[in-house]
Structure formats: structure tokens, C-alpha cells
């Protein structure tokens, strides 16, 4: 039915309100058949809301949706799937304990043309064909928990292929990928386009939008501010549309700070990790004999593809995970296997990797979350009693100092946007005036304004004399911020390089396990 139409999806005058916030304001958006259309905007611009409407998660308050020229009503994802629409979420919804094949067979019950259930063997053959055709890198019998983030995403893509979806929505698909995996994804998307499918690509990364898409629609504060042909636009134009004139003016004011000189000799060591080994949740080694020091007044970066032991390393330093072997010293005090409370009391702040899971309590108020680390210290409590007045006052102070956007300090923190949740966490941790600040992926998934804000905070903490340990998988970020950069691979630190000698290429190669000096691939199978 799609051949007769040029426009695959037309969303007309879509309006969606949450409480009194307008998430989508009379948005009109169309995607042609065989087109890759990027939906660009900062966090909270309304991209995901719009796509959730198309996929049936939300219903629009006003407006109409046409799919292949037919007016449709989409009340649930099942309706959308029937219409040939598939959405690949940022965090795939898969059953961890089942195999890839089982996940695909069980969740959806695949039917053939007669409406009969395909037998697992038939399904397996079908999937194997598709894996080959589209060059997917997944094993149908692997359990989902064994897969990497990128492989999980491929399982979701495989679902779309099995469904023969004509319209594919990808929500920030590159945020979890390494550069190589990203290239693979882009070639996959182009293959889909060649097959006459339409792809909607949600992103906040300007270069990505230009390089992958045919057209780009830019959203700002729930409105469409422009739809452009990718070949006729530039990063500058998109940035101006996306952030708005006022946003760019602010950017010019931010001065570029000179990096401190690399002279560490007369600086104090704040964090000293020696020969550290840590196990992961499944009991296999995640960190294998790691040693490094972090000095006061420096930002020490640890970069690597996610899942190479960074998470476990941070958890060990902050007292959340048992150390198997080795020592951790903070201010030359041995803190190996001490609890998180003790380590905090030495002046260690921690911006956690999973901000919703570890960093906040969604149901509690902004104020209550802002005192999560200090509630048991005066003036926030007197003996066993909380001092609510002082807590509210402190919260209001931090809200204005850290520009947290919230109606007041009493609403549940879970109702804030992702960027503001991170501001709450950063405000809480930095207001402790820490000696050591451990920031794990602190800008992951944040929009430009929030990212810039977090990076400025890290810099100012460094200038204050704090030792900052930054864990990241964003090469540009560590190059911008760090004085020294350690590249982590398979639980080891391959190399520590100073900012001056670091280049994008060098780090990129190290991240994939190649040491540039020896030029040899590091054996992946040592234990």
C-alpha cells in the first residue's frame, strides 16, 4: 500500500500538554517514503514526546496523524506496529534471562501469511537470513544479559525487520555506541533507506543529524523552528535554530579557560589506587590490577568503551563494591573496603553513572534529594530531628545557584527533566565542597546547555583545588577537560597520557585495545 504515496507519515498540528506544560505545540511534521529524517532538539524540546505519540504511548490532545495518506488513530504501540511503525527506544525493553530468539518469538508471537504461529525453526531461519542480509552481529541463542548495549539495540532492530516495519523511529540511538558501532548503525540505516523504508532519527547531536539524514526538523520548546534539507544546512545554522539566539549569546560569554600546567611535582596526591582488582556482579574479574593517582587541582580522565570495568572501578573507590585485591588511599588514608558513609565523610563526592537508579529518590522532593548526603549533619538536623526549615532554605539556595528549573523545592524530583535531575545531583555533590569529586559519565544524555553547565562545574571544582576523577566515553569531553587521560580496556589501564600528547586518533585506537606504540592488538582473551 505504500507505493502509491510519497509521504509515509504526516503529523498535523499535534499538541500535547502535561499538566500545564505544553510538550508539543501545534507540531506539523512529515516523513517521506525512503527518507531519513532527523528530529533535532535539546532535551525537553519535545522530540521523544512527539514520537511517543506516533508510536501510541501517548495520545495527542489535538491534531491528526496520517500514515500513507490514511487518517489513523493510534491508541497503543500495537496499533502503531500494525501500521508498520516501530520505535527503537534508548533503553531496549528485553527480557534479560531469555535468549535473543526467545525474546523475539515470545513477546510478539510472529505470524505468517496464514495467521499461524511460525515454528521456532522457521522463525530461526527467517532471523538468520535477516542477520546475514543486514550484517547484524548477534547470536540468536545468546541470553540478552550477555549482550552489549549495541547488541541489545540490534535485537530491537531485528524486531523491526521481522515485523517488516516500514517506518522506523530511533530514539537517540548513538548515545550508547562507540564510534565503530555508530558507523555500523549508519550503514544499517542507509540500507533500510535503500529498501524504501522511512527512518526517523531522534538526536541532539548536530553533526550526526547532518551526516545521516536527508532532511532535518528542528524542535525548540515544543515547537517546530524549521525543516531543512541536510545538504543545504550547516552545524552553525542548526545550532542557532536549536538553542535560539539567546542561547548562543551565552555561549560567547563563556571564556575558554587555559589548562593548568602539567607540573604535578609540588601537588598533593588525593586519590591513590594501587594494583586494584574488582569483580563484577557475576563474579568475573572486571578491574584487573589498576594503578593510578589523582592530584589536587587536576581533572584525571578515565576513558573507555562502556563496560570495560569503569563502573566497577568507581563503585570500588566510593565504597559501593568490595575490593578483591589492591589498595585505595584517599589523602594517604587507607579506605579499601570501607563503607560509602565513611568514604563520604573524608570529602569524597560522587556523581553516579546511573543518575535515576543511584543518584536520586524520584518520589522524594527536590529539597529532600538535595540533602541526601548531608541530612545527618547540622544544621539540617538537631540530634535525631530534621530541621525542615533549614532544608528548604538550603534547597532554595542551591536551586538558584545551580539554575535548577523547578516550580518549587517541594515537588518530587522525578518530575524534573533529565538535565535538571543532573543539576540536582551536581548541586548536592559540589555543595559538599569535596576534596575528591568522582564524576561518572556526568554529561551522558544531557542537552547542550546542561552539558556545558556540568563541564563548567568540573572546571571550577578543579580551580578550587579539588581532585576530579572523570569517567567518560566521550573523547571530545576528556580532551576538553582533562589534564591527564587514562584509557581503560578490558579492566586494565592501557596507558596514561597527558593532555598535550593526547589526540582523538590516539585515544580512539587505545579505546579499541590498540596501543599505538607497539601497534599490536592486545590479546582479548587473557585472564
Binding stretches for other proteins (CB under 8 A): 18-19, 59, 75, 318-320, 339-342, 344, 350, 352, 354, 357-364, 368, 372-373, 375-376, 381, 384-386, 388
DSSP 105-131: HHHH--B-TTSPBPPHHHHHHHHHHHH
Q: Which residue number, 262 or 339, has a Cβ lying nearer to other proteins? A: 339
**Least distance (Å) between residue 36 CB and other proteins:** 32
**Least distance (Å) between residue 270 CB and other proteins:** 20
**Least distance (Å) between residue 372 CB and other proteins:** 5
**Least distance (Å) between residue 333 CB and other proteins:** 17
Q: Distance (Å, rounded) from C-alpha 51 to C-alpha 91?
A: 15
**Least distance (Å) between residue 328 CB and other proteins:** 16
DSSP 282-329: TSSEEEEEEEEEEETT-EEEEE-STTSSHHHHHHHHTTSS--SEEEEE
Q: Distance (Å, rounded) from C-alpha 489 to C-alpha 291?
A: 14
Q: Which residue number, 146 or 362, has a Cβ lying nearer to other proteins? A: 362
**Least distance (Å) between residue 384 CB and other proteins:** 5
Question: Please, which residues have CB within 8 angstroms of residue 218's CB and are 6 or more apart in sequence?
Answer: 40, 41, 224, 225, 226, 227, 228, 238, 241, 242
Q: Distance (Å, rounded) from C-alpha 225 to C-alpha 252?
A: 22
**Least distance (Å) between residue 435 CB and other proteins:** 17
Q: Distance (Å, rounded) from C-alpha 278 to C-alpha 281?
A: 10
Cell of 86: 516501530
**Least distance (Å) between residue 352 CB and other proteins:** 6
Question: Please, which residues have CB within 8 angstroms of residue 138's CB and are 6 or more apart in sequence?
Answer: 100, 131, 147, 151, 154, 155, 158
Cell of 452: 556545558
Asked if 176 contacts 306 with a C-beta cutoff of 8 angstroms, the reply is yes
**Least distance (Å) between residue 464 CB and other proteins:** 23
Q: Which residue number, 145 or 375, has a Cβ lying nearer to other proteins? A: 375
Q: Which residue number, 78 or 137, has a Cβ lying nearer to other proteins? A: 78
Q: What backbone torsions phi and psi does residue 104 show, to the nearest 5 degrees? A: -75, -40
Asked if 85 contacts 37 with a C-beta cutoff of 8 angstroms, the reply is no
Q: Which residue number, 130 or 372, has a Cβ lying nearer to other proteins? A: 372
**Least distance (Å) between residue 50 CB and other proteins:** 16
Q: Which residue number, 138 or 317, has a Cβ lying nearer to other proteins? A: 317
Pick the closest to residue 495 from 517, 471, 525 (CA basis): 517
Say whether 196 sits in a helix, a strand or coil. Answer: coil
Q: Which residue number, 289 or 414, has a Cβ lying nearer to other proteins? A: 414
**Least distance (Å) between residue 259 CB and other proteins:** 31
Q: Which residue number, 350 or 455, has a Cβ lying nearer to other proteins? A: 350
Gyration radius of the chain's alpha carbons? 25
**What is the C-alpha end-to-end distance of the chain, expressed in Å?**
55
b/e code 65-81 from CB counts within 10 Å (16+ = b): bbbbeeebebeeeeebb
Q: Distance (Å, rounded) from C-alpha 162 to C-alpha 118?
A: 12
**Least distance (Å) between residue 512 CB and other proteins:** 31
Q: Which residue number, 176 or 360, has a Cβ lying nearer to other proteins? A: 360
Question: Please, which residues have CB within 8 angstroms of residue 41's CB and are 6 or more apart in sequence?
Answer: 47, 204, 218, 219, 220, 242
Q: Which residue number, 385 or 526, has a Cβ lying nearer to other proteins? A: 385
Q: Which residue number, 342 or 465, has a Cβ lying nearer to other proteins? A: 342
Using the structure block, give the residue that is written with the C-alpha cell 522506523: 168
Q: Which residue number, 194 or 357, has a Cβ lying nearer to other proteins? A: 357
Say whether 471 sits in a helix, a strand or coil. Answer: strand
Using the structure block, give the residue that is written with the C-alpha cell 542477520: 131
- Angle, vertex CA 376, rays to CA 339 and CA 331, nearest 5: 45
Amino acid at each position: 500500500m505504500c507505493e502509491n504515496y510519497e509521504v509515509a507519515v504526516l503529523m498535523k498540528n499535534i499538541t500535547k500538554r502535561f499538566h500545564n506544560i505544553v510538550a508539543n505545540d501545534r507540531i506539523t511534521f512529515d516523513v517521506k517514503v525512503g527518507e531519513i529524517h532527523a528530529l533535532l532538539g535539546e532535551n525537553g524540546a519535545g522530540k521523544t514526546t512527539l514520537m511517543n505519540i506516533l508510536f501510541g504511548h501517548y495520545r495527542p490532545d489535538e491534531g491528526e496523524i496520517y500514515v500513507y495518506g490514511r487518517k489513523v488513530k493510534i491508541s497503543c504501540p500495537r496499533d502503531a506496529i500494525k501500521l508498520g511503525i516501530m520505535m527503537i527506544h534508548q533503553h531496549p525493553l528485553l527480557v534479560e534471562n531469555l535468549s535473543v530468539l526467545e525474546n523475539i518469538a515470545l513477546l510478539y508471537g510472529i505470524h505468517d501469511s496464514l495467521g499461524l504461529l511460525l515454528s521456532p525453526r522457521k522463525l530461526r531461519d527467517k532471523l538468520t537470513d535477516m542477520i546475514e542480509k543486514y550484517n547484524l552481529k548477534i547470536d540468536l541463542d545468546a541470553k540478552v544479559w550477555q549482550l552489549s548495549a549495541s547488541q541489545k539495540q540490534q535485537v530491537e532492530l531485528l524486531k523491526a525487520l521481522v515485523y517488516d516495519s516500514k517506518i522506523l523511529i530511533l530514539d537517540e540511538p548513538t548515545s550508547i555506541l562507540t564510534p565503530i558501532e555508530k558507523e555500523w548503525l549508519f550503514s544499517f540505516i542507509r540500507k533500510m533507506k535503500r529498501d524504501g523504508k522511512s527512518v526517523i532519527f531522534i538526536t541532539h547531536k548536530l553533526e550526526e543529524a547532518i551526516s545521516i539524514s536527508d532532511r532535518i526538523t528542528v524542535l525548540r520548546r515544543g515547537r517546530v523552528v524549521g525543516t531543512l534539507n541536510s545538504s543545504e544546512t550547516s552545524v552553525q545554522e542548526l545550532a542557532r535554530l536549536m538553542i535560539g539566539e539567546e542561547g548562543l549569546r551565552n555561549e560567547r560569554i563563556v571564556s575558554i579557560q587555559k589548562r593548568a600546567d602539567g607540573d604535578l611535582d609540588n601537588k598533593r596526591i588525593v586519590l591513590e589506587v594501587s594494583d586494584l582488582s574488582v569483580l563484577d556482579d557475576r563474579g568475573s574479574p572486571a578491574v584487573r590490577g589498576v594503578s593510578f593517582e589523582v592530584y589536587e587541582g587536576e581533572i584525571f580522565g578515565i576513558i573507555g568503551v562502556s563496560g570495560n570495568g569503569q563502573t566497577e572501578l568507581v563503585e570500588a573507590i566510593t565504597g559501593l563494591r568490595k575490593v578483591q585485591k589492591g589498595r585505595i588511599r584517599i589523602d594517604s588514608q587507607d579506605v579499601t573496603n570501607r563503607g560509602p558513609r565513611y568514604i563520604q565523610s573524608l570529602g569524597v563526592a560522587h556523581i553516579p553513572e546511573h543518575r535515576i537508579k543511584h543518584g536520586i529518590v524520584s518520589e522524594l522532593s527536590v529539597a529532600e534529594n538535595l540533602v541526601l548526603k548531608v541530612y545527618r549533619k547540622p544544621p539540617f538536623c538537631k540530634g535525631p530531628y530534621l530541621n525542615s526549615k533549614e532544608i528548604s532554605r538550603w534547597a532554595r539556595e542551591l536551586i538558584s545557584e545551580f539554575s535548577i528549573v523547578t516550580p518549587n523545592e517541594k515537588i518530587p524530583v522525578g518530575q524534573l527533566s533529565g538535565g535538571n535531575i543532573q543539576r540536582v545531583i551536581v548541586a548536592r555533590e559540589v555543595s559538599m565542597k569535596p576534596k575528591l569529586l568522582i564524576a561518572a559519565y556526568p554529561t551522558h544524555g544531557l542537552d547542550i546547555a546542561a552539558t556545558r553547565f556540568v563541564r563548567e562545574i568540573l572546571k571550577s571544582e578543579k580551580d578550587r583545588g579539588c581532585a576530579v576523577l572523570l569517567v567518560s566515553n566521550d573523547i571530545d569531553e576528556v580532551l576538553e577537560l582533562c589534564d591527564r587521560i587514562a584509557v581503560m580496556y578490558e579492566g586494565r589501564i592501557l596507558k596514561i597520557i597527558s593532555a598535550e600528547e593526547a589526540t582523538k586518533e590516539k585515544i580512539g585506537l587505545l579505546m579499541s585495545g590498540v596501543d599505538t606504540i607497539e601497534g599490536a592488538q592486545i590479546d582479548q582473551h587473557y585472564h
